[in-house]
Amino acid sequence: VNHYKLVVAGGGTGGCSVAARACKTFGQGNVAIIEPADYHYYQPMWTLVGAGVKTVDQSAMPMERVLPKACDHHKQKISEFDPDKNTVTLENGQKLSYDYLVVGIGIQINLDKVEGLVDALNNDPTVCTNYRREYVTKTYPAIQNFKGGNAIFTFPNTPIKCAGAPQKIMYLADEYWRKHGVRDKTTMLYNTSLGVIFGVKKYAERLLKVVDRKDIKINFKRNLIAVDPATKSATFQLLDSESGETEKYNYDFLHVAPPMSAPDVLKNSTSPITDGAGFLDVNKETLQHKTYPNIFGIGDCTNVPTAKTAAAVAGQNKILYNSLQQVIAGQTPDGKYDGYTSCPLITGYSTCILAEFDFNGEPLETFPVDQGKERRTMYHMKKDIMPEIYWRMLLKGHWSGPKTYRKMLHLGMSK
Ligand code: FAD
Ligand code: UQ1
Please tell me the distance from the alpha carbon of residue 21 to that of residue 368, in angstroms, as a whole number. 31
From the list 393, 105, 398, the residue with the least C-alpha distance to 274 is 105
| pLDDT reported for residue 412 | 81
Alpha carbon of 280 to ligand 2 centroid (Å): 24
| pLDDT reported for residue 65 | 98
Answer whether 0.95 is exceeded by the pTM.
yes
CB-based contacts of 381: which residues, under 8 Å, 6+ apart? 344, 352, 354
Alpha carbon of 122 to ligand 2 centroid (Å): 33
Alpha carbon of 344 to ligand 1 centroid (Å): 16
Residue nearest to ligand 2 atom 17, measured at CA = 402
Domains identified in the chain and CATH numbers: 2-107+262-328 (3.50.50.60), 109-260 (3.50.50.60), 341-409 (no CATH)
From the list 383, 349, 379, 372, the residue with the least C-alpha distance to 173 is 349
Establish whether residue 395 lines the binding site of ligand 2, counting it when its CB lies within 6 angstroms of any ligand atom.
Answer: no
| pLDDT reported for residue 329 | 98
The question of whether 16 is a catalytic residue gets the answer no
| pLDDT reported for residue 1 | 80
Handedness of CA 308, 311, 312, 314 (dihedral sign): positive
In a structure prediction context, what are the per-residue pLDDT tens digits for the chain, which is 415 residues long? 899 999 999 999 999 999 999 999 998 999 999 999 999 999 999 999 999 999 999 999 999 999 999 999 999 999 999 999 999 999 999 999 999 999 999 999 999 999 999 999 999 999 999 999 999 999 999 999 999 999 999 999 999 999 999 999 999 999 999 999 999 999 999 999 999 999 999 999 999 999 999 999 999 999 999 999 999 999 999 999 999 999 999 999 999 999 999 999 999 999 999 999 999 999 999 999 999 999 999 999 999 999 999 999 999 999 999 999 999 999 999 999 999 999 999 999 999 999 999 999 999 999 999 999 999 999 999 999 999 999 999 999 999 999 999 999 998 888 8
Establish whether residue 402 lines the binding site of ligand 2, counting it when its CB lies within 6 angstroms of any ligand atom.
Answer: yes
ipTM > 0.85, yes or no = yes
Establish whether residue 389 lines the binding site of ligand 2, counting it when its CB lies within 6 angstroms of any ligand atom.
Answer: yes
Alpha carbon of 318 to ligand 2 centroid (Å): 15
Establish whether residue 173 lines the binding site of ligand 1, counting it when its CB lies within 6 angstroms of any ligand atom.
Answer: no
Q: Which atom of ligand 1 is nearest to the CA of 37?
A: 11
DSSP string across 116-167: THHHHHHH-TTEE-TTSHHHHHHHHHHHHH--SEEEEEEE-SS--BSTTHHH
Establish whether residue 312 lines the binding site of ligand 2, counting it when its CB lies within 6 angstroms of any ligand atom.
Answer: no
In a 3-state reduction of DSSP, which class is residue 71? coil
Alpha carbon of 43 to ligand 1 centroid (Å): 7
Residue nearest to ligand 1 atom 15, measured at CA = 105
Residue nearest to ligand 1 atom 30, measured at CA = 44
Establish whether residue 59 lines the binding site of ligand 2, counting it when its CB lies within 6 angstroms of any ligand atom.
Answer: no
The catalytic residue among 23, 71, 128, 343 is 343
Q: Which atom of ligand 2 is nearest to the CA of 386?
A: 8
Identify which ligand lies nearest to the alpha carbon of 355. 2
Alpha carbon of 244 to ligand 2 centroid (Å): 40
Q: How far is CA 289 from CA 82, 304, 330, 341, in A?
A: 14, 11, 16, 21
Residue nearest to ligand 2 atom 16, measured at CA = 402
Is the CB of residue 254 less than 8 Å from the CB of residue 154?
Answer: yes
Q: Which atom of ligand 1 is nearest to the CA of 130?
A: 34
The catalytic residue among 71, 162, 301, 352 is 162
Q: At 147, which amino acid appears? A: K
Q: Which atom of ligand 2 is nearest to the CA of 381?
A: 17
Residue nearest to ligand 1 atom 45, measured at CA = 309
Please tell me the distance from the alpha carbon of residue 90 to that of residue 74, in angstroms, as a whole number. 9
Is the CB of residue 400 less than 8 Å from the CB of residue 340?
Answer: no
Residue nearest to ligand 1 atom 21, measured at CA = 10
